[in-house]
Structure formats: C-alpha cells, structure tokens
Amino acid sequence: MTQPADEHALDPRAGVSELRPAGDAVLVPAAEIREEDLPADRNQAILQAAKQVGALLKKTGLPFALAGSVAVYAHGGTQNLQHDVDFCIRPQDADAVAGALAEAGLTVYTPPEDWLLKATCLGQQVDLIFELAHEPVSTELLDRAEELSVDSVLMPVLSPTDLLGGLLAAFSEHHCDFGAVLPIARTLREKIDWDALRRARGDEPMPAAFFYILERLEIVPPKEDHS
C-alpha cells in the first residue's frame, strides 16, 4: 500500500491537503492547491500538517503518538519547529496507516531507511516512525503517551521522558548533537523522570556525557543526589 520513492512521491507539493478547520481531514488533489492557500509561516505549516495527519490517524483507531519538535511544542516548548512532523506507530500497523493516509489523498512512500514511512501534507514532510534507536515502537511506549492539545487538536503525544529518552538513545560517535537536545532538556526538565532516564541510559558513554553537562549547568541534580 506504499508507493516507491519516485520523482512524483518526492514532490513537496504532492498530497497537499486543503486548508480547513483542524478537525476536518478532507483532502483535495495537489493540482487544486494554490500557492496563496499555504501558510506563509513555516512553523504554522508544520502545525497544520501535524493536525491534519493526527486527525487522520485518530480515525484509524490504531495507537500512535506525536513525536519530534511538534511534541516538544505540545509539552510547552517554543514554537521553533524543525523541518518535518514525526509520528510514532507500531511496526505491525505500518501498512494500515499507509493505506489510510493514501486513501485520504496523501502521498505515502517508502524511503531507503527501513525504520519509517514518509508522507507529504501541506507541502511538509511527515515521518511515520516504527523504530526508535533500533528498537520497535511498542504498545507500552504509545500507552505512556499523553493526550494533549496540539494547536487546538487533541492527540496522543509521547511523554517528555520518552521524548528525551529517544534522543539520548540516538547519540553515537557519528551523531552526538548535544546542542540540539540541550534546550529540550532544559525546557521539559520539570516533566522528565530523570531517575528513569539514568537507569535506562546513564551507563552509556554519550548519554553519560550529556548528563554531566546537565549537572554542570544545574539543570538536573548530581547523580549522587539520586537514591
């Protein structure tokens, strides 16, 4: 039910949805979308795409959760959104999700990476992730998601602890951008279960170094203060 990543699928205007109220997931062909219909502000375009796809995912009845920078925003972070919208889905639901989005008029395709699907909505890239840091997205992870308002649309959002945990798990010798993750940790520090994160990731070299920076900046208490 997914489409190969051909030239049309990579067209950023393919599958663009009509701007409608948040709860309305009716989509129209890309050819009928005018440039002036698209939000001029990139952050707003990303939010609109998140709302449209979130509404479609809710209609499937399958478990999912918003992730990435839009999830951080939903938890109280700044509206400094990154280049796409991220959702977590279970691996066994990937085909059904792809079919539902394609039926609604979005272009869905399989990228070279084997841990996600991609779609386009309102000219924005949407990642449908079913594997985080080499671990399948589980029902337990999605059960911990919190129902939050995303620019007036309610949808499940990954918990702050799971959001940061996924970022820590992705650290490696080849990708270790503390600067991108530090503002998230600072913004959500009161909502994160730091003890749980230390137990899960504290003995790994890169997360341990990140915890050290957080301690020196007095964002989290030193490890010895944790029983």
The CATH number that applies at residue 145 is 3.30.460
* Same structural domain, 133 and 190: no
β-strand partners of 67: 86
Rounded Cα distance between 155 and 153, Å, is 6
Q: Which of 158, 177, 195 is the last residue of a domain?
A: 158
Helix (H, G, I), strand (E, B), or coil: what is residue 212?
helix
β-strand partners of 85: 126
* Same structural domain, 151 and 227: no
pLDDT above 70 coverage of the chain, percent: 80
* Same structural domain, 137 and 151: yes
Full domain range(s) for residue 215: 160-227
pTM: 0.80
Task: Evaluate if residue 3 carries a pLDDT over 80.
Answer: no
Q: Which of 108, 129, 158 is the last residue of a domain?
A: 158
* Same structural domain, 111 and 28: yes
* Same structural domain, 152 and 176: no
* Same structural domain, 137 and 174: no
pLDDT digits (tens, 9 = 90+) for 93-132: 999 999 999 999 999 999 999 999 999 999 999 999 999 9
Total domains present in the chain: 2
* Same structural domain, 153 and 169: no
Confidence bin at 40 (pLDDT 50/70/90)? low
Which H helix or E strand runs over 85? strand 84-89
* Same structural domain, 79 and 152: yes
Higher pLDDT, 9 or 54: 54
* Same structural domain, 85 and 71: yes
